[in-house]
């Protein structure tokens, strides 16, 4: 349901103003407590991570603006304190749509510096043929970083870590050190769809693989993993996802080395073994993204070889 709602949001922004908009009044915010002081909010758009406790509320992503009242009501059911900090895992509007509301209410918004840069200027989502206007001032991250930042709140340390050229060029993953929770943002789509690699925002298949490998190094068998979209996962789920990415990348790379065209590679169905034909990202579209990423990797993107990655 989340992915379908996400797609509806994308199409609504791409359509004329008079077109039917998503009915956010029908969206329910569901809370799942996954560790002491840590919860996940499911609704429409990206999954929201929540740290709550004596120091107030910290959220990781904030979905769409019309959902802010529902999201705040859900948070208050656990902790009546205001939202003090918002961490954006990347710039896409299904993860940052509530920024303006939270910024106006006094929350400090943090993100990688590329998130602020992209939100400050008009963007073009080539995969959706969509222009995204600049965000208002109150929606922009006011604290930015290059590699990462730590938040020492609510009896825990939240490590916010940049993973470059993955889903976009501004992705971060967030690790609750004590609670043993990991938020992967959209570097991890769990079930229901192949991942969306936003090539127009500097994303790459090798970066998504590198992000999964980073997450696996930080996780153990007890870690609860929050994907950008989909249900809560475990380390075995993230490992299977990483293995799928490596396998499909290998087949596409072999086709490129054999000088086969994209159409020929798609006809060989390199993603067919993994199902999900009805997901937001179709198998052929994912294969095309992998193909394009390997043919024209963004500068500074990781390069995967034999399941291991290094930088170009």
Q: Note the pLDDT of residue 34.
A: 98
Residue positions counted in the chain: 312
Q: Where are the domains of the chain?
A: 2-243
User: What band does 127 get if pLDDT is binned at 50, 70 and 90?
Assistant: confident
Per-residue pLDDT, 279: 83
The pTM of the full predicted model, rounded to 2 decimals, is 0.91
Instruction: Measure the CA angle with vertex 174, ends 109 and 28; round to 5°.
Output: 70
Q: What is the pLDDT of residue 5?
A: 42
Answer whether residue 59 shows pLDDT above 70. Answer: yes
pLDDT band at 10 (very low <50, low <70, confident <90, very high): very low
* Structural contact between residues 169 and 211, judged by C-beta atoms closer than 8 angstroms: no
> Across the strands, what pairs with 60?
49, 87
Q: Which alpha helices (DSSP H) does 97-192 contain, by range?
A: 99-104, 113-120
pLDDT digits (tens, 9 = 90+) for 68-100: 999 999 999 999 999 999 999 999 999 999 999
State the burial class of residue 62 (Cβ atoms within 10 Å of its Cβ: 0-12, 13-18, 19+).
buried
133-168 burial by CB neighbour count: b if 16+ within 10 A, else e? eebeeebbbeebbeeebebebbebebbbbbbbbbbb
| 3-class DSSP assignment, residue 270 | coil
pLDDT given at position 197: 97
**What is the distance of C-alpha 48 from the center of its chain?**
10
DSSP strands (E only) in 140-202: 143-145, 148-153, 156-162, 172-176, 181-189
Q: Is the pLDDT of residue 170 over 90?
A: yes
**CATH number, domain 2-243:** 3.60.15.10
- Please, what is the average pLDDT of the chain? 91
What local confidence, expressed as pLDDT, does residue 278 receive? 79
For the chain, helix, strand, coil in percent to 5 are: 35, 25, 40
């Amino acid at each position: 349901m989340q992915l379908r709602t996400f797609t509806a949001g994308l199409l609504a922004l791409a359509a004329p103003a008079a077109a039917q908009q998503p009915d956010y009044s029908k969206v329910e915010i569901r809370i799942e407590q996954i560790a002491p002081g840590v919860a996940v909010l499911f609704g429409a758009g990206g999954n929201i991570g929540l740290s709550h406790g004596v120091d107030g509320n910290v959220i990781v992503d904030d979905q769409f603006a019309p959902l802010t009242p529902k999201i705040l009501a859900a948070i208050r059911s656990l902790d009546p304190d205001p939202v003090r900090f918002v961490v954006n895992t990347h710039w896409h509007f299904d993860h940052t749509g509530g920024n303006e509301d939270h910024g106006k209410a006094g929350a400090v918004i943090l993100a990688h510096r590329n998130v602020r840069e992209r939100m400050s200027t008009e963007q073009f989502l080539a995969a959706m043929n969509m222009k995204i206007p600049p965000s208002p001032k109150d929606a922009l991250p006011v604290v930015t970083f290059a590699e990462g930042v730590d938040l020492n709140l609510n009896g825990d340390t939240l490590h916010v870590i940049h993973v470059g050229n993955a889903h976009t060029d501004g992705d971060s993953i967030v690790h609750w050190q004590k609670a043993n929770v990991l938020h992967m943002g959209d570097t991890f789509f769990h079930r229901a769809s192949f991942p969306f690699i936003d090539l127009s925002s500097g994303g790459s298949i090798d970066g998504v693989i590198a992000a999964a490998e980073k997450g696996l190094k930080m996780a153990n068998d007890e870690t609860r993993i929050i994907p950008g979209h989909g249900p809560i996962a475990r380390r075995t789920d993230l490992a299977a996802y990483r293995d799928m990415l490596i396998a499909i990348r290998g087949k596409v790379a072999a086709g490129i080395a054999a000088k086969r065209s994209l159409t020929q590679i798609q006809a060989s169905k390199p993603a067919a073994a993994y199902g999900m034909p009805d997901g937001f990202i179709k198998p052929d579209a994912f294969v095309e993204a992998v193909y394009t990423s390997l043919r024209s990797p963004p500068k500074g993107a990781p390069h995967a070889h034999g399941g291991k990655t290094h930088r170009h």
